Amino acid sequence: MDTMHADLLVIGFGKGGKTLAAKMGRLGRRVVMVEQSDQMYGGTCINIGCVPTKSLIHHAQTRPAGADPREWYAGSVAATASLTGAMRGKNFGMLDELDSVTVVTGTAAFLDEKTVEVTAGSDRLEITAETIVINTGAQNAVPDIPGLRASKHLVTATELIGSPDLPRRLVVLGGGYQGIEFAAMLSTYGTEVTVLEAGVRILPREDEDVVGVVEQILTDDGVTVRTGVRVTRVEDTADGALVHYEANGADGTAGTSGTLEADVVLSAVGRTPRTAELRLDAAGIRTTVRGAVEVDEHLRTNRPHIFAVGDVNGGPQFTYISLDDSRIVADQLLGEGKRATSDRVAVPYTLFMGPPLARVGVTETEALATGRPVRIVSKAVAAMAAMPRAGIVGETRGVMKFVIAADTDEVLGAAILSVDSQELINTVALAMRSGVTASTLRDAIYTHPSSTEAFNEVLATVVR
């Protein structure tokens, strides 16, 4: 067995870990990066997450009217694979070109709090390090439904985006962000999509009026959404999978039962931290009740020299949060040690359907629960005179909604369901962090024709 010693050992090639490894490597520190698969250099985002899904969404929305859906989809998957392959190579090169950084491909597991064993087939490598960063990410969860895990037609998001075969009939288990994104994307390619959600509505973190607009857009695009549905079992047949379900009536009483036929069943019920192979107990590292690595506001575990960054620590599962995690750890190792997760204010997110839904801050429901007096401004995109860009690009569906403090004029939150919302929300988030009032956003001068100028109109439209 070979041995190595490092100043910094990073387990997992995700955004936070690779950024920290590169920073330390450029300073001449001895760094070892361990990644389980050479198909995951660069992490979840570029390989099986943000980049490939958004690439497929882009190709879906740009399919020529006469193009065969199945051929276009196969070409889209191939083009996406080429893109992610190039990005994967670039990410590997980013570390490999640094003399003080060594990339090791294999499975890592703790032997003790200072030592990690990496295995690849019959090869074994023992690494000791002064500082260790766990960056193993999360994996798609599959619910314990009879017949589901054994079904030949079950896929997770990772498997679905890698297959060139366009499903004819897709059943999505879960009406959260991942489930709705895939439902919207596949329906645009021409797949018959049904979403089954156990809760009373999809996207439970969003306001009911916003969800209503989302559901209408999905319905217009051919997606069937069924809520209050419990899947009881999945059965493989000669023609695909038969999904058995029970639905509850609006009053909560037992309602109807039924079945759905599917070529593919997508499990989209969430993601769980990837820790099973790490042998955390050997290092005495504590985990939360949900299985995440337990960290403090500086991302230290209960072993002060071991940190956890990215999805594995149970925080928001966004690439940009992982990047900020790397800044916090770098400040601990190289700076004043003042940066913390508690510094984060107004972190936005986007659901990339068509058009995308972006949100930041609190919802109206959350604001009213605090008892603070608020004003709600909202307007449908189709009713806006000051947003010609929506008409120019042919996408006038959606709504913009802001929650504003009645006493201070602060923007407390926003939900923007419109073309370009993934960009608009960053302007709103920056305004919230900087103390820019709603009136200032309303009266600002924006370029024309742009989506941002919609703020001139919507922020003057008080609905309650």
Contact 130, 305 (CB under 8 A): yes
* H or E segment and range at residue 415: strand 411-417
Contact 241, 235 (CB under 8 A): yes
Contact 182, 156 (CB under 8 A): no
Annotated binding site for NAD(+): 174-181, 197, 270
Radius of gyration of the chain (CA): 24
Tokens 């299985």 belong to which residue? 291
Q: Cβ neighbours of residue 331 under 8 Å, at least 6 residues apart?
A: 337, 338, 339
Contact 449, 392 (CB under 8 A): yes
Q: Running DSSP on this structure, what letter comes out for residue 266?
A: E
- Beta strand 254-262 with 240-248 is antiparallel
Helices (H) and strands (E) in the chain, counts: 14, 22
448 is catalytic: yes
Q: Distance (Å, rounded) from C-alpha 191 to C-alpha 184?
A: 10
Q: Distance (Å, rounded) from C-alpha 110 to C-alpha 3?
A: 14
Q: Cβ neighbours of residue 36 under 8 Å, at least 6 residues apart?
A: 12, 105, 106, 107, 108, 277
Helices (H), 225-357: 280-283, 319-334
The beta-strand segments (E) located in 254-361 are 254-262, 264-267, 271-273, 306-308, 349-351, 357-361
Annotated binding site for FAD: 54, 311
Phi, psi for 400 (deg, rounded to 5): -120, 130
The beta-strand segments (E) located in 165-239 are 169-173, 192-197, 224-227, 229-237
Q: Give catalytic residue positions.
A: 448
